[in-house]
Structure 1
Amino acid sequence: MSKRLPRRGATLAKAIIEEYQPKSVEDMQNALKEIFGPMFEAMLNGEMENHLGYMSNERGEKDTANRRNGYTPKVLKTSAGEVPISVPRDRDGSFTPQ
């Protein structure tokens, strides 16, 4: 009989529970909202790097004159409630996250 392998997110789930120690469903939803924001922002930053063609803080000559230009605050409405995030923007205003 083979031993059952842990699911991919099991280690992450244990770490979240250890860190936040939720006592109720509401506590768990709040923990997930707190985690979701930075995770979504990281994906948006990856999209920005792809859009501009260079990594954040990359030294040297760039292929484009367009640069990062701060962040715009937004609020995402999720099934767990509203989550505030910071959306990166570029100088040209041509970045449209997907």
Structure 2
Amino acid sequence: MGLWSKEQLRSFIKENNLVTAQDAQNALKDLFAETLQEMLEAEMDTHLGYEKHDMQNKQTSNSRNGKSKKKIMSEYGEQEIAVPRDRLGEFDPVVVRKHQ
């Protein structure tokens, strides 16, 4: 079985108005970039020990400090993502390494 159910796939196709193979390719390219972006955000949450805007659980002096644009190459071609930064400059993402 795949990652998505048949119903989820059909919903994805309908929501993104996928008609051609190129439409599917473009949608997968966008999905890939969005997935990487969410993985980076989750990695930052883990690094800092709290989720974004969750000040009740913040137990560190370090915090988010914007994002840096980064171009990556994948099977889907070149894409731009936004890599989160922390104030102390300690965040070293694993999903997309620095200087790659």
Q: Output the TM-score relative to the length of structure 2.
A: 0.79
User: Is 1:77 aligned to residue 73 of structure 2?
Assistant: yes
2:44 alignment partner in structure 1: 48
| SS of match in other structure, 1:72 | strand
User: Is 1:32 aligned to residue 53 of structure 2?
Assistant: no
| SS of match in other structure, 1:73 | strand
Q: Could you tell which deviates more after superposition, 88-97 or 12-21? A: 12-21
Please, which runs of 5 or more residues in structure 2 have no aligned partner?
95-100
RMSD: 1.8
Cα distance change, pair 18–61 in 1 and its aligned pair in 2 (3 A): closer
Displacement of 1:85 after TM fit? Answer: 1.1
Percent identity over paired residues: 38
Please, which runs of 5 or more residues in structure 1 have no aligned partner?
1-5
Deviations 1:42-79 (A, max 9, x none): 11111001001111101236321111000111122111
Total equivalences in the alignment: 93
Q: Which has the larger radius of gyration?
A: 1
| SS of match in other structure, 1:89 | strand
Displacement of 1:7 after TM fit? Answer: 4.4
2:98 alignment partner in structure 1: none
Displacement of 1:97 after TM fit? Answer: 0.9
**1:76-95 → structure 2 map (5 Å cutoff):** 76-95=72-91
Q: Could you tell me which amino acid in structure 2 is paired with residue 25 of structure 1? A: A
Which of 6, 9, 12 pairs up with 2:4? 9
Deviation above 3 Å: which 4+ runs of structure 1?
Answer: none
Q: Output the TM-score relative to the length of structure 1.
A: 0.81
